[in-house]
Amino acid sequence: MGKRTEFLYMSEPDVIEAGVLDVKMCVNNAEEVFKLLVQGDYLMGGSNHNNHGMYIVFPKETPFPNMPVAGPDRRFVAMPAYLGGRFDICGQKWYGSNAENKKVGLPRSILMLTLNNKSTGEPLAYMSANLISAGRTGAVPAVGARYLARKDSKVLTLVGCGPIGKACFDAIITELPNVEKVICNNRSEEKAVSLANYIKKNYGLNAIVENSLESAAREADVISVAASRTAPLHFKHKWIKPGCTILASGPLQCDEFLWMDMDIVYDHIGLHHAYVEEAIESGDKDEYYSRVIGGPIYRLIDAGKKPALDDSISIGQVIIGENQGRICDKQIICFVACGMSVFDLGLGYDLYMTALEKGIGQKLLLWENPKQSEEE
């Protein structure tokens, strides 16, 4: 006799009702996941257990009329993981991405999260994950701000003012109680204006738009970088104040003087090892480096100009007291945050448990009795 299996479907409104917009909860959840990462109680894809995910990247040309071709941010990605601790859950984030989506009124990426029983593989939940991804993406640099930023920081600059930039702001601001001014910088001024208005209305802060990256950077005590791959950014050393914290949730370029003067704190050392391994396996390491946030730093490590990854600091080490992050007020720190599926699992799990407790979502039947079990 087989076993009845059902799972919880959670739409975006269900995810909202379960608390995904509770920013402080998201930040605390991310901090807990960082502790598990540094302790090793997790698994991600690949033989090294640290792969970001498996990508379908479309070719530039194809003889097949229906096969998609390459375009800005056009890909499908599967991101499986196991997360230990109290979560003790397996699952996968899955998404398709295409910059052209905005022309038809859709987000650039459309994401779903599956949670599975770690022993049987049965689905426990299938949920809308755009807000989960945004929530955890914002929460990760907020943990960086919690442990690395100067507590007297008064000016926060946001580079990248789209949905992810907004999510980063909502989370980061909870960790910077002394901020008085927010500078919004975006390739499209319209988005910068929209975010500045949102900040003024909802937080009562002085929020302005600054189209010059130099001017936006020069004033900042903390800089949040959340621009897409299609908007390359170039920071110069002379623009950055002593004591500034750069929270890099998106790609950026810096002149070598700035890279050399900055102390790097990584989200998770193992992930960056995996990126370097993939770059080597790709056959074009330099091109691969150009596609990932840590690429410019990996180049400096290869050249012997920055400490090797194994001699570097992760935020998890800072959280559990194994290492120091900020050691003086004049130190410039860059926190590199690339995103990992374990954060989606951690946040998704807590939302799932809240949904079960409050009766949120819809239970769907997988089977009353799996036919395969009847035939065995």
Residue 47 pLDDT level (bands cut at 50, 70, 90): confident
* 269 in any annotated domain: yes
pLDDT at 233: 86
pLDDT digits (tens, 9 = 90+) for 296-337: 999 999 999 999 999 999 999 999 999 989 999 999 999 999
Q: Based on the fold, state whether residues 309 and 358 are members of the same structural domain.
A: no
Q: Based on the fold, state whether residues 56 and 117 are members of the same structural domain.
A: yes
Q: Based on the fold, state whether residues 267 and 185 are members of the same structural domain.
A: yes
Q: Could you tell me if 165 and 187 are in contact, meaning their C-beta atoms sit under 8 angstroms apart?
A: no
pLDDT digits (tens, 9 = 90+) for 139-173: 999 999 999 999 999 999 999 999 889 999 999 99
CB atoms near residue 97 (< 10 Å): 18
Q: Based on the fold, state whether residues 69 and 185 are members of the same structural domain.
A: no
Q: Based on the fold, state whether residues 234 and 290 are members of the same structural domain.
A: yes
Q: Based on the fold, state whether residues 349 and 327 are members of the same structural domain.
A: no
CATH code where residue 111 lies = 3.30.1780.10
* 141 in any annotated domain: no
Q: Based on the fold, state whether residues 295 and 330 are members of the same structural domain.
A: yes
* 142 in any annotated domain: no
* 138 in any annotated domain: no
Containing structural domain, residue 351:
5-133+342-375
Q: Based on the fold, state whether residues 175 and 223 are members of the same structural domain.
A: yes
The C-alpha atoms of residue 335 and residue 147 are separated, in whole angstroms, by 10
CA dihedral 97, 102, 105, 110 (to 10 degrees): 20
pLDDT digits (tens, 9 = 90+) for 195-241: 999 999 999 999 999 999 999 999 999 999 998 766 668 999 999 99
* 140 in any annotated domain: no
Question: How many structural domains is the chain composed of?
Answer: 2
Burial of 235 per CB tally in 10 Å (0-12, 13-18, 19+): buried
CATH code where residue 246 lies = 3.40.50.720
Residue 360 has pLDDT above 80, yes or no: yes
pLDDT at 232: 67
For residue 309, what are its two tokens? 């990854």
Q: Based on the fold, state whether residues 222 and 295 are members of the same structural domain.
A: yes
Percent of the chain with pLDDT strictly greater than 90: 88
Q: Which of 99, 108, 105 is nearest to 137 (CA)?
A: 108
The C-alpha atoms of residue 255 and residue 277 are separated, in whole angstroms, by 25
* 253 in any annotated domain: yes
Q: Based on the fold, state whether residues 229 and 83 are members of the same structural domain.
A: no
The C-alpha atoms of residue 294 and residue 282 are separated, in whole angstroms, by 16
* 139 in any annotated domain: no
pLDDT at 46: 87
Mean pLDDT of 57-68: 94
Q: Based on the fold, state whether residues 100 and 170 are members of the same structural domain.
A: no
Residue 373 pLDDT level (bands cut at 50, 70, 90): low
What length does the chain have? 376
Mean pLDDT of 12-34: 98
Q: Based on the fold, state whether residues 157 and 301 are members of the same structural domain.
A: yes
Q: Could you tell me if 174 and 65 are in contact, meaning their C-beta atoms sit under 8 angstroms apart?
A: no
Mean pLDDT across the chain: 94
Mean pLDDT of 105-113: 94
Residue 188 pLDDT level (bands cut at 50, 70, 90): confident
Return the HEC string of 247-291.
Answer: EECCCCEECHHHHHHCEEEECCHHHHHHHHHHHHHHCCHHHHHCC
* 88 in any annotated domain: yes
Residue 372 pLDDT level (bands cut at 50, 70, 90): confident
